[in-house]
Amino acid sequence: MKKIAFFDTKPYDRPKFELYGEQAGIIYKFYETKLNEDTAHLAKGCDGVCAFVNDSVNEAVIDILEGLGIKLLAMRCAGYNNVDVKYARKRLCIVHVPAYSPYAVAEHAMAMLLTSIRRIHKAYIRTRDFNFSLVGMTGFDLHGKTVGIVGMGRIGRVFADICRGFGMKILAYDKFPAEDGDIPYVSLDRIFSESDIISFHCPLTSDTYHMLNAETIEKLKKGVVIINTSRGALIDADALLDGIKSRKIGATCLDVYEEESDLFFEDFSGHILEDDTLARLISMPNVIVTSHQAFLTEEALANIAEITTDNIVEFFTTGSCKNELSIN
């Protein structure tokens, strides 16, 4: 039986991983702590490691894991900007879950958009206090509005389909446009200057780091709604805050935040938040923040557990895996 050290475990992870692990003859050893230089030694005696979006898989961690004889790092997510894949080459095999439910993320993006522009977050609080006033609750129709989608992969495409259902006009930007003819690709500049709503669905790379910054915010239409369910560092959060304060940006929906790794997934309700930018963003009436929650559906959790377990079995049975990351 292969033993896998499972980092950053949350109560909602365990049932599905226990189920699929038992079926496949894999023992998951669950640790609540995140994976980093201080905790990597907990993988001692295991055959592989399973990590998530806010674990640190840097050179030091890879060295420790290699020293422990770990052969496999199974990421239970799609994105891998927190993994030094280049350094891991020839040291560890790294696999991921390329797709588990693009619907979960795309539907969450639309849920945030509707909540924001129809002020549902405000209405929920008002009516609980028996305040039935509608003053300040005026929204706008999505029908006829232009949505700019940055990154037309699996999630971007589902989001586009949802937006089409609302009668919105789609503009798309992708660095690697697909061949199929029905996607209305335009330049990134046109996305920025023509969209009423912009939703980010591309990976975080050196190309996309801070693609929304002080300079690009200048190009936006006044009142634009920004949605980010991809990775926080696509957006310069301080520039975003300035754009909101200057009224250039009409509303913002963030499921991810550049400095989320020490905060998201944890309960800080009894603490004073050290991050002034995040605290100020959350204080804004036209900003909605969820804590990297877009993936969290029953269907996605089941797919993540099943595909991760299959990846582990495939690697230990054949010595390779179709979902191995291979970045030069």
Contact positions vs ligand NAI (CB under 6 A)? 78-79, 99, 102, 105, 150-156, 173-176, 201-203, 205, 207-208, 229-231, 255-256, 292, 294-295
| Smaller CB separation from ligand NAI, 27 or 99 | 99
How many whole angstroms separate alpha carbon 45 and alpha carbon 70?
A: 9
CB 165 → ligand NAI: shortest distance, Å? 19
Catalytic residue among 96, 119, 154, 260: 260
CB 203 → ligand NAI: shortest distance, Å? 3
| Smaller CB separation from ligand NAI, 49 or 256 | 256
How many whole angstroms separate alpha carbon 328 and alpha carbon 75?
A: 18
Catalytic residue among 108, 231, 258, 306: 231
Question: Closest Cα partner for 327 from 158, 15, 75?
Answer: 75
Name residues whose C-beta falls within 8 Å of residue 293's C-beta, 6 or more positions apart in sequence.
108, 255
| Smaller CB separation from ligand NAI, 149 or 321 | 149
CB 77 → ligand NAI: shortest distance, Å? 6
> Nearest residue by C-beta to ligand NAI?
153
DSSP summary character for residue 5 = E
Catalytic status, residue 260: yes
Catalytic residue among 108, 157, 292, 306: 292
Question: Closest Cα partner for 101 from 306, 314, 310, 325?
Answer: 306
How many whole angstroms separate alpha carbon 200 and alpha carbon 198?
A: 7
Catalytic status, residue 292: yes
| Smaller CB separation from ligand NAI, 24 or 99 | 99
- Beta strands per DSSP E along the chain: 2-6, 26-30, 48-51, 72-75, 93-95, 146-150, 169-173, 197-200, 224-228, 249-254, 287-289
Catalytic residues: 231, 260, 292
